[in-house]
Amino acid sequence: QLVESGGGPVQTGGSLRLSCKATGYTVSPWYMGWFRQAQGKEREGIAALRRDGPTRYSDPVKGRFTISRNYYEKTLYLQMDNLKPEDTAMYYCAAEWIQGAVKSPLSAYEYNYWGQGTQVTVS
């Protein structure tokens, strides 16, 4: 189970840190990612982290968002800085356990496990 938290309202230029707590497993996911879906738009991948370290970011968030993971706490984080109104969306975390199964880390189709989402509103 994946449970996101940390969303909320924030002013332009502000920061938020999202958390995704993963429970019910003993082996860490091979890949974890953050996705977002704005109203009326498709879900887009914004950041992904492989178990052995490599990260991937989408262009709109590169340099502003940072994905990280605390393996001991089984928690994925997304530090979001310099937020813009266009970052307003529902944010989801996703995970995939099968090693090698994720070929496109920012594609939602690559992940089988999803959280319920947390809303971020930038004004």
Query: Per the structure block, which two tokens stand in for 101?
Result: 């199964």
φ, ψ (nearest 5 deg) of residue 109: -70, -15
pLDDT confidence of 113, banded at 50, 70, 90?
very high
From the CB of residue 90, how many other CB atoms can be counted at a distance below 10 Å?
Answer: 18
Chain segment 25-68, per-residue pLDDT in tens: 888 899 999 999 999 999 999 999 998 889 999 999 999 999 99
Output the pLDDT for position 35: 98
Return the bridge partners of 88, or none.
none
Output the pLDDT for position 25: 84
CA angle 118, 48, 115 (to 5 degrees): 30
Distance from C-alpha of 74 to C-alpha of 80, rounded to nearest angstrom: 20
Residue with tokens 């189709």: 109
Mean pLDDT along residues 115-119: 97
Distance from C-alpha of 114 to C-alpha of 93, rounded to nearest angstrom: 6
Chain segment 60-112, per-residue pLDDT in tens: 999 999 999 988 888 999 999 999 999 999 999 999 998 888 889 999 999 99
Chain segment 3-30, per-residue pLDDT in tens: 999 999 999 999 999 999 998 888 889 9
Output the pLDDT for position 71: 83
